[in-house]
Structure 1
Amino acid sequence: MLPTRRVLITGVSGPLGARVAARVAADPAVEHVIGVDSRRPPAPLADRITYVEADLRRDDLQQILKLASPHVVVHHDIVQFPEPGRSVRGLHDLNVIGTLQLLAACGDLPGLRALVVRGSASIYGSAPDAPAFFTEGLARSATLRTRFQRDVGELERLVEAFARRHPAVTCTVLRLQPVIGASVDTPIMRLFRAPVVPTFLGFDPRLQFVLDEDAIGAVAAAVATPVRGAVNVAGDGTVSLARSLRRLGKRALPIAAPLYGLTVATLARAGVVPPLNEDVIRYLRNGRGVDTTRMRRDLRFVPTHTTAQAIDAVAASIRREAAVA
């Protein structure tokens, strides 16, 4: 465990960023948290968090980090889906160019002891011939088929190169399965709130999720006890799509595979379902499971919710929302 430290966190204005910063700042071993984002936080940040407006792609980032002089940098500003002020076209620059600039600035920090990067289990893809549970070492053999897969693959290569050049810095990449929760706004959560869920006719994939609170807890655990390399993060177990929809009280709309993309696009234009990108569509067809041995053994983090319990928590929140509406 690291001694008392200053922590810099990117992406504090994102959906989970402020909550990550608040959880880290609540640790008595943390002296102060510097929250960095190009957008102002939608609400005041918690105590002991200082917000600094900065774009990771700008040249003045290096000076900002030198002034902050963090012992730990948490790179949480990895974006898979468009957000307010962040279009699809700009996501590659945010994820890859932003990471490249951040790592270059981190290389000049003499007091830096750990780097924690929020990655994604999307790096493994979703394929019909995939293993039941991916271990961390299997990412090297994965075929990077989608834009976001290529982004996280390139991001991890950048982090690996940084780790080789700076062996004194412990570099951790958290490969999170899809994050779900009442306050999470992603295509999957929008789909779970939709009146019907388009499914692939004849397919019932195994799904695995991590509840938002556990995703935040995993980042906080990596700040407290960083480990070298990639770590899968997910709730225990998998649940089939059909069982997930039954738990959520949602009706499936089976669609033949050749017609799926066109049908979903038509439903999205009508406002029945949210737009779905290639990663989500592949996940709904083939699913994905990851092995979490390293998370428990090395990161020493145990999620509060299994995948089934996370789905049930989301189902309860959707029912509450419906009762209030």
Structure 2
Amino acid sequence: MADTVVITGISRHLGGAFARRLSGDRSVRRIIGVDIVPPRHGIGRAEFIRADIRSPLIGRIIDDHEVDTVVHMNVIATPSAGGGRASQKEINVIGTMQLLAACQKAESVKALVVKSTAAVYGSSPKDPAMFAEDMSARRMPRTGWARDSVEVEGYVRGFSRRRPDVAISMLRFANVIGPKIRTAFTDHFSLSVIPLPFGFDARLQFIHEDDVPDALALAVAHPGQGVVNIAGDGIITASQAANIAGRPYVLIPKFIAGSVTGSLQRVGLVDVNPDQLDMLSFGRGLDTTRMREVMGFTPRYTTRAAFEDFARGIPGRPLHRALPFAQPGWAAVQAAQGAIGAPAASEESEL
């Protein structure tokens, strides 16, 4: 059972949500949150220490407070959230290396929980219907956060060989979605007209933002879960997602989709990379048998329910007239669900 827990990335939306969730567990005596900027949201009874995980200071924090459990949530999904791609990679990869080096030296550390991502499986036309935890990507992620996450997982495996006494849980979350969090997917499906690759209708799986802290808390309470896929039941297709969002969508040939999303990125409407475009083309499915039968976790939201909860918070109203080159479908959704409500505040880009 965890006694003193360090949470990295506590100033980000999910870091704060997890700190609040863990604060309700009275078996955890002390919670310490570290980040390079103070949190703008509540962190429950966690104590905030301003520190950069790329700095040796993280080692002193772990030693001085005799930390027994480390929850690593400071892997940044989008370059804009990290101050550019170079800074993003440095925080994700170098920061993880420094954190693991500190954990390796600290005899007090007995458990490590890593918030990873299903993006490590990549997305390609050769993928299986469902990825189990022992499968590898048919085509490795090429850029950005997904590639960083592959490196992060490699360093964690190396750490486990050097410290076999430390119980490790590495949770591979499906794309996180909800009314408060901002991600590349929430940006994309909030556009007035949603561009989708022509000739594809990707299978998408999501996990609700409220289910993420619950899964992490379970991994803290029951350490040593190993690698576990975390996703809501079922799938929806990209076109269904656009309809649920109450938006028309326009089909664009894949070879020019990058140019279109690149233009949207330059004006600050979306923050995408080639791997995310592949995801919108080929999708990804996760086998969650281990999540249920071994870890004993069941998300409160299905994939569809999670996306519907996000859709209710999309800013503005659906378009009143479908464009001639766009696919209809939003009108029926609007009639069935009512007008989409006002947006909830989001704090940063995160997946």
RMSD: 1.8
- Give 1:131's aligned residue: 128
Is the Cα contact below 8 Å between 1:123 and 1:142 reproduced in 2?
Answer: no
The equivalences for 1:102-113 within 5 A come to 102-113=99-110
SS in 2 for 1:138: coil
Give TM-score scaled by structure 1 length. Answer: 0.93
Q: Which of 131, 148, 152 is equivalent to 2:149?
A: 152
Q: Which of 284, 287, 311 is equivalent to 2:280?
A: 284
- Give 1:13's aligned residue: 11
Is the Cα contact below 8 Å between 2:35 and 2:49 reproduced in 1?
Answer: yes
Is the Cα contact below 8 Å between 2:123 and 2:139 reproduced in 1?
Answer: no
- Give 1:313's aligned residue: 309
Letter aligned with residue 342 of structure 2: E
The equivalences for 1:40-119 within 5 A come to 40-47=38-45, 49-84=46-81, 86-119=83-116
Deviation at 1:109, TM superposition (A): 2.0
Is the Cα contact below 8 Å between 1:200 and 1:260 reproduced in 2?
Answer: yes
- Give 1:211's aligned residue: 208
SS in 2 for 1:284: helix
- Give 1:233's aligned residue: 230
- Give 2:119's aligned residue: 122
CA–CA distance in 1 between the matches of 2:5 and 2:132? 29
Deviations 1:77-118 (A, max 9, x none): 011113556322211111111011001111122222210001
Letter aligned with residue 87 of structure 2: G
CA–CA distance in 1 between the matches of 2:187 and 2:73? 22
- Give 1:296's aligned residue: 292
- Give 1:196's aligned residue: 193
CA–CA distance in 1 between the matches of 2:68 and 2:206? 31
1:39 maps onto 2:60 in alignment: no
Q: Which of 243, 246, 263 is equivalent to 1:246?
A: 243
Choose between structure 1 and 2: higher helix proportion.
1
Is the Cα contact below 8 Å between 2:205 and 2:236 reproduced in 1?
Answer: yes
CA–CA distance in 2 between the matches of 1:282 and 1:74? 30
Deviation at 1:310, TM superposition (A): 0.7
Letter aligned with residue 295 of structure 2: L
1:222 maps onto 2:219 in alignment: yes
Deviation at 1:298, TM superposition (A): 1.8
Aligned-residue sequence identity (percent) comes to 37
Long gaps (5+) in structure 1 = none
Letter aligned with residue 271 of structure 2: P
Q: 1:253 to 1:188 in 2, by over 3 A?
A: same
CA–CA distance in 1 between the matches of 2:122 and 2:274? 10
Is the Cα contact below 8 Å between 1:79 and 1:95 reproduced in 2?
Answer: yes
SS in 1 for 2:32: strand
CA–CA distance in 2 between the matches of 1:266 and 1:116? 38
Count of residue pairs brought into register by the alignment? 319
Deviation at 1:150, TM superposition (A): 2.5
Letter aligned with residue 41 of structure 1: P
Deviation at 1:140, TM superposition (A): 6.5
Is the Cα contact below 8 Å between 2:225 and 2:295 reproduced in 1?
Answer: no
CA–CA distance in 2 between the matches of 1:143 and 1:84? 23
CA–CA distance in 1 between the matches of 2:166 and 2:38? 30
Letter aligned with residue 202 of structure 1: G
Deviation at 1:288, TM superposition (A): 0.5
Is the Cα contact below 8 Å between 2:124 and 2:278 reproduced in 1?
Answer: yes
- Give 2:347's aligned residue: none
CA–CA distance in 2 between the matches of 1:279 and 1:295? 25
Deviation at 1:258, TM superposition (A): 1.7
SS in 1 for 2:234: coil
CA–CA distance in 2 between the matches of 1:259 and 1:85? 27
SS in 2 for 1:107: helix
Long gaps (5+) in structure 2 = 315-339, 345-351
Deviation at 1:228, TM superposition (A): 4.0
CA–CA distance in 2 between the matches of 1:267 and 1:279? 16
Deviations 1:159-182 (A, max 9, x none): 111111111111111111110011
Q: 1:141 to 1:191 in 2, by over 3 A?
A: closer
CA–CA distance in 2 between the matches of 1:163 and 1:69? 20
Letter aligned with residue 262 of structure 1: S
Q: Which of 21, 24, 37 is equivalent to 1:23?
A: 21
Q: 1:142 to 1:217 in 2, by over 3 A?
A: farther
Q: Which of 253, 262, 271 is equivalent to 1:275?
A: 271
CA–CA distance in 1 between the matches of 2:302 and 2:225? 25
SS in 1 for 2:61: helix
Letter aligned with residue 320 of structure 1: G
Q: 1:220 to 1:86 in 2, by over 3 A?
A: farther
SS in 2 for 1:136: coil
